[in-house]
């Protein structure tokens, strides 16, 4: 039985949301720390330090969200592909949101905050119900039938 199953607990309410937020803070600090390390200690140009930190934090964030936040046993290939698709979508969405809000008096900084809040909210549900979701029973039974 998973954490979200059981007669006394609704399926949408559990501690994964809190773990998700904690993991997000830890992932941000990891990314920020790497950026600082590569820029300030190793002297890399900012654009390169940010890129390297992002790629390394991509792997770290995937792992911490998978293991700590959602305790997922979804196949890695499927989950990593879906996670990558989500990162691409989030990148485009963030660029659009920040760019559009920058055209208003609110400016780019407010746009970044709005984009972060929006992606944080939808990412929780996308992670939980798509990226790290366990295989559905019909997928498992189809595979079993094909193996027979």
List the chain domain ranges: 15-71, 74-136
Length of the chain: 148
Say whether 43 sits in a helix, a strand or coil: coil
- Tell me the pLDDT tens digit for each residue of 88-135: 999 999 989 989 999 999 989 899 899 999 999 999 999 999 999 987
> pTM for the full model?
0.73
66 burial type by CB count under 10 A (0-12 exposed, 13-18 middle, 19+ buried): buried
Alpha carbons 23 and 57: distance in angstroms, whole number = 12
């Amino acid at each position: 039985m998973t954490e979200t199953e059981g007669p006394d607990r609704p399926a949408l309410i559990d501690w994964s949301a809190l773990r998700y937020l904690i993991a997000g803070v830890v992932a941000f600090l990891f990314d920020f720390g790497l950026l600082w390390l590569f820029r300030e200690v190793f002297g890399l140009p900012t654009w390169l330090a940010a890129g390297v930190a992002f790629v390394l934090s991509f792997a770290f964030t995937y792992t911490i969200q998978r293991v700590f936040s959602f305790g997922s046993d979804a196949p890695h290939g499927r989950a990593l592909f879906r996670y990558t698709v989500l990162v691409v979508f989030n990148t485009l969405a963030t660029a659009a949101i920040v760019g559009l809000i920058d055209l208003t008096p609110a400016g780019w900084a407010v746009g970044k905050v709005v984009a972060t809040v929006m992606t944080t909210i939808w990412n929780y549900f996308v992670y939980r119900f798509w990226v790290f979701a366990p295989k559905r029973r019909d997928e498992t039974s189809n595979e079993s039938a094909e193996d027979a």
